[in-house]
Amino acid sequence: MANRIRVGVWGLGRAGQGMHFGELGQFPELYEIVAGCDIDHERIAAAEKKLPAAKFYRDSAEFLKNPEIDLVTVATRSPDHVRHAIEAARAGKYVMVEKPMACRIEDALELQKVSNELPGKIFVRHNRRFEPAFTHIREIIKTGKLGTIFEIKLCRHSFQWRADWQTILSEGGGQLLNWGPHLVDHALQFLESPVKELWSDLKLVAAKGDAEDHLKIIFKGENGRIVDVEISGGISMPDPVYVVRGSRGSLVSYDEKRLKLKYLNPAIPVPHIEASPANPPLEGGFGGSVAPVWIEDELGVAPSTGDTTEKIWKYLYETIRNGAPYPITMEQAVEVVRVIDQVKKGAIDVVKF
C-alpha cells in the first residue's frame, strides 16, 4: 500500500487517541499511523500498547522532524491548535486541525494567513458536517416538500456535573468551543444566507468550572430564515435534536436515527382563500372552512451520499492524493470561529443550583 498517507498524531488524549486512532483505523488502505506525540508519559505508554509499531515522542520538534510523517493531526488542547498547526505545516507536513480550529478570531485569521502561504496544506476537522442526519435533512429541504423553510432548531442536551479542563475558561473550555464549532457550522450551512442578525445567551448551570455549559445562539439570515442553536450540559429532559419548519410542513428528529415529517399533499392544490373582515360563524372554530390534507412519513436516516462523520478522512485522502476539492473551506471554518468569538464576548450567567 505504497500510496497510504502516513500519519503522526499530535496529542494522545480523548480526541487523538480516543477518536483519531479509531477513525483512521477504519481506513487501513488509506492511512497508517506511524508516530505520535504527547507530553504525558501515561498517554504515550497507552498509545504504545495500541500501536507498537509506531514511534512516539515527548519532544514535538523531534516528532516534526520524522521524515516518515506525511500528515499531522493536531489533537492537542484547544488553545494550542493554531500554534501546533502552523509548526506542523511549516515543517512540510499536511495538517488536519481538530476543532475548535482556534479559540479567538485573531488566531483563526493567522492560521488562514499561513494556509494561504502554504496552499493545500492545512485542513479543518469539522467532521460533523458529514453526520448522516444533517446530510439527509438538507437533502429533504432541497426537495421542496416542506415549502419555504423559515425556522430550524438544533439542540444537543444533556445533564453533566462535568469537571475536566473543558469546563475552565482559561484552558479553552466551555460548550462554545466543545460542541459549538459543530453546531455553528451546521447553522451557517442551514441558513443558506449571510448572517443578518445574531443573538446569544450564555449560562453556567451544572458544570464545576467557570465556563458556560448552556448556550443559545439565534441566527437570522438575510433571507429571513431563523436558525436557533441550543447546546447544554444542564438540561435533564432533552428537546428534539432537529426541528425544521416550512410553509408546507415540518420535520422532527429526536435521535438522529429517525426523521418524522408532516407536509401538505403535493397532489392537492392549496385552495384560494381570501380573508374577510366579516364576523366568523357563531358555530365552529377559527381554522377556516378548508382542512389541509397532510402526508405523514417516518424515515430512517439514510442520505444518498452515504455520509458518516468518519468519511471526512476519505475526503481528506482524495484531496491530498488526487487533488479533489476539500469540502470544508478555510473561509467557512474562519466564519465559525468569528461567530463563536462574538458570542464569547457575552457575560456568563451563573444559575443557582
Task: For residue range 221-275, list pLDDT tens digits in order.
Answer: 999 999 999 999 999 999 999 999 999 999 999 999 999 999 999 999 988 888 8
Domain 5-125+310-327 -> CATH class? alpha beta
Q: Which numeric CATH code is attached to 129-271+289-307?
A: 3.30.360.10
Percent helix, strand, coil in the chain, to 5, is 35, 25, 40
| Beta-carbon-side half-sphere exposure of residue 194 (alpha carbons within 13 Å) | 2
Residue spans of the domains in the chain: they are 5-125+310-327, 129-271+289-307
Question: Mutual orientation of helices 180-191 and 132-143 as an angle, nearest 10°?
Answer: 10
- In the numeric block, the cell 473551506 is attached to 329
Kindly tell me if the per-residue pLDDT of 32 is higher than 90. Answer: yes
Helices 81-90 + 105-117 axis angle, to 10: 10
Q: Which residues contact 254 (CB under 8 A, 6 or more apart)?
A: 240, 241
Amino acid at 77: R
pLDDT in tens, 274-294: 888 888 777 766 666 678 999
More confident call, 330 vs 284: 330
Q: How far is CA 260 from CA 148, 153, 240, 252, in A?
A: 18, 15, 11, 5
3-class SS at 185? helix
Q: For residue 266, is the peptide bond before it cis, meaning its omega torsion is within 30 degrees of 0?
A: no
